[in-house]
Every structure is written in C-alpha cells, then in structure tokens.
C-alpha cells in the first residue's frame, strides 16, 4: 500500500479509536503534504510523504533539545511520542554498516580527493539514503572520511 493511502486510512483509524496525539500528528502530516504539493508544484506521492515526515522528525528533534534546556520533561515526552508516530511512515532505517557500505560504493564511484568534494558525494548519496537514514549523521560520516 502506498504511503498516501496509508496516511488517509490511519487518519480514519485514529478518529475511530479517539487517539488524540496520533490524530493530531497525522493531520499535521496531511496539511504539510498539501502545502508541499502547492509549494513544490509536485503531485502527491510516497517521496513527498517521506520528505514531509523527515522534516517533521527533524524539527521535533530540535524542539526536544530546547525543551530539555528549559527542563520541560512533559513536552519532551510528548514530542518523543509524536516522533514515534512519524517514524512509522518512514522506510526501514538502515544500520550503520549498511550506510557505511553505501558510502564506500559512492566513494569508489565519485573518487573525492578533498573536503570541497563533499557536494559531489552528497549529490550521489542523497537519493540512495533519503528517508532510510539520518542525513545529518551521514553527512558527518562523509566529512570525517574526507578529512
């Protein structure tokens, strides 16, 4: 089943079961998907859902850091639950070993020589790992390897 249909079905399911947190997160996903269709002038598809969900997870992780600074454990817990709901829409996350193997393959293909070749490597790696790995972590792995 494609993700767009799954989001719609999960919305109905969350309404029936009266799961407030899940319902709120799914409504945010749907709103962000509609906005992305308008902004990017793309049709709604699984890739768009993954982009929206990844962005939602990233902003929530940043929020958690701020909540922890403010000693707001109640908001930290709520935000972590929201992240769990969002993660259910992402493809299975790759292990560090699998990510390392893909990075090795891309390095053999691109043959970067200096840190300024980072863009070339990321251009090749992003389509392979987007939604399947934390791209910030992937970026750090590549930077370390180039230095």
What pLDDT band is residue 67 in, cutting at 50, 70 and 90? Answer: very high
pLDDT of residue 79: 95
Contact 26, 7 (CB under 8 A): yes
Domain with CATH 1.10.1510.10 in the chain: 3-87
- Within 8 A by CB and 6+ apart from 51, the residues are 36, 130, 131
Higher pLDDT, 21 or 146: 21
Domain 96-146 matching CATH 1.10.10.410: the answer reads yes
What is the per-residue pLDDT for 90? 87
Instruction: Note the pLDDT of residue 51.
Output: 87
Judged against a pLDDT cut of 90, whether residue 77 lies above it is answered with: yes
User: What predicted TM-score, i.e. pTM, was given to this entire model?
Assistant: 0.78
Question: Could you give the C-alpha distances from 142 to 55, 108, 118, 127, 129, in angstroms and in order?
Answer: 21, 13, 7, 15, 13
Domain 3-87: top CATH class:
mainly alpha
CA nearest neighbour of 20 among 80, 85, 90, 89: 85
In whole angstroms, what is the distance from residue 3 CA to residue 5 CA? 5
Span 98-116, average pLDDT: 89
pLDDT digits 0-9 by tens, 123-132 = 999 888 887 8
| Cβ proximity of 44 and 33 under 8 Å | yes
Q: CATH 1.10.10.410 residue ranges in the chain?
A: 96-146
């Amino acid at each position: 089943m494609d993700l767009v249909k799954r989001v719609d079905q999960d919305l109905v399911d969350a309404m029936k079961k009266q799961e407030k947190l899940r319902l709120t997160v799914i409504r945010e996903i749907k709103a962000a998907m509609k906005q992305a269709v308008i902004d990017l002038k793309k049709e709604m598809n699984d890739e768009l859902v993954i982009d929206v969900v990844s962005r939602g997870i990233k902003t929530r992780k940043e929020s958690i850091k701020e909540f922890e600074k403010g000693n707001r454990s109640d908001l930290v817990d709520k935000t972590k639950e929201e992240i769990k709901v969002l993660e259910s829409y992402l493809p299975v996350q790759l292990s560090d070993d699998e990510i390392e193997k893909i990075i090795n393959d891309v390095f053999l293909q691109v043959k970067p020589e200096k840190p300024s070749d980072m863009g070339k490597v990321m251009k090749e790696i992003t389509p392979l790992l987007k939604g399947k790995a934390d791209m910030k972590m992937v970026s750090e792995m590549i930077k370390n390897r180039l230095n």
